[in-house]
Amino acid sequence: MRDLAALARVSAELGANRLLVQAAGGNTSVKADGVLWVKASGRWLAKAVDEPIFAALDLPRLTDAMAAGDPACETCDAFVRADLSASGLRPSVETTLHAGLPQRFVLHVHCVETISNAVLEDGASRVAPLLDGLKWAWVPYTRPGFPLFQTITPGADIYVFANHGLVVAADTLEAAVALLATVGRRLARPLQTAPTRSARGVERAGYRLADAPALTSHGAKFAAAGTLYPDHLVFLGSGAAHIDSVVGTPPVILAPGCPPLVREDLAPAPLALAQCLGDVAARLAPNDRPRYLTAQQEYELTHWDAEKYRLTLPD
Ligand SMILES: [Zn+2]
């Protein structure tokens, strides 16, 4: 199918850009002939050309079930077209979002420029003038999956998910990619200048510096203070510690003046999320007021079967 091949190529490009996608985060889809092709859970967009990462679902059955509020829409496993899908693929946790938007192509990314606005208390009012003239909507934080889809009113081309990321939708792939570029450009925030500091002062056995910008003092503080978006919690837990309050050997240590220190044994997925934390923190300004996920919101994520499944997959 030509559209699917084109989507795979674009998905691989998105997946290779760490300012858009980190590890198995993000997902893309196309609708064709009553079938929704959507990225499978836990698969990496970066590998879209090299291996089958798209699951096929029966779109009419799925949308009927969504309209009825069928609990089967939580995993969407029941709507997979086994005759079309490679075996072992489970649909993305965001499948209902892809099914419910009317546009043919839907791209969901964890765009760092978007996130660096979307994690702020006043994110909606900051983003509004920047996206003026586009058909966009702000979506307050809701646990990803069916609950997130249920908070959305179809009708926009762009959705900014608070404390999460970005969705763009269009009837052609070219238009969707163009929207992604436009939003990324308009929401771009300048990199804050960090004080220079000799890395020798923060050297620790078993750690190395991540490939990320140096942290400012406020950036290090903000990044260590809580969970800013779901994949941080899923892959790093509460394991990003400020250098002044390190207990044990957390996966990430945040010290002003140098990039995040990452434990040398980190697997590719947590490493990508550690870099992402550095990329986001580098864009936060001293007067920003970040909004963190509440304890209840963290509990929902860590006790959600779909996320436990994602963690069991190899990188
Ligand atoms: Zn997401």
Percent of the chain having pLDDT more than 90? 85
- 176-213 pLDDT tens trace: 999 999 999 999 999 998 776 655 567 788 999 999 99
Secondary structure, 3-state, the chain: CHHHHHHHHHHHHHHCCCCCCCCCCCEEEEEECCEEEEEECCCCHHHCCCCCCEEEEEHHHHHHHHHCCCHHHHCCHHHECCCCCCCCCCECCCHHHHHHCCCCEEEEECCHHHHHHHCECCHHHHHHHHCCCCCEEEECCCCCCHHHHHCCCCCCCEEEECCCEEEEEECCHHHHHHHHHHHHHHCCCCCCCCCCCCHHHHCCCCEEECCCCCCCHHHHHHHHCCCCCHHHHHHHCCCEEEHHHCCCCCCEEECCCCCCEEECCCCHHHHHHHHHHHHHHCCCCCCCCECCCCHHHHHHHHCCHHHHHHHHCCC
173: CA distance to ligand 1 center in Å?
19
Task: Report the interhelical angle of 2-15 vs 173-186 (nearest 10°).
Answer: 20
Question: At residue 135, does pLDDT exceed 90?
Answer: yes
List Cβ neighbours of 152 (8 Å cut-off, separation of 6 or more): 97, 100, 101, 137, 139, 159
Q: Who surrounds ion ligand 1 at CB < 5 A? A: 165
Q: pTM (2 decimals)?
A: 0.94
pLDDT per position as a tens digit, 222-281: 999 999 999 999 889 888 999 999 999 999 999 999 999 999 999 999 999 999 999 999
Spacing, Cα 17 to ligand 1 middle (Å): 15
Cα 21 to ligand 1 centroid, rounded to whole Å: 9
Residue 221 has pLDDT above 80, yes or no: yes
What pLDDT is recorded for position 261? 95
Q: What percent of the chain has pLDDT over 70?
A: 95
Q: Which residues pair with 208 in a beta bridge?
A: 262
**222 C-alpha to center of ligand 1: Å?**
21
161 C-alpha to ligand 1 centroid (Å): 9
Cα of 42 from ligand 1 centre, angstroms = 12
CA distance 234 to 140: 20
18: amino acid identity, one letter: R
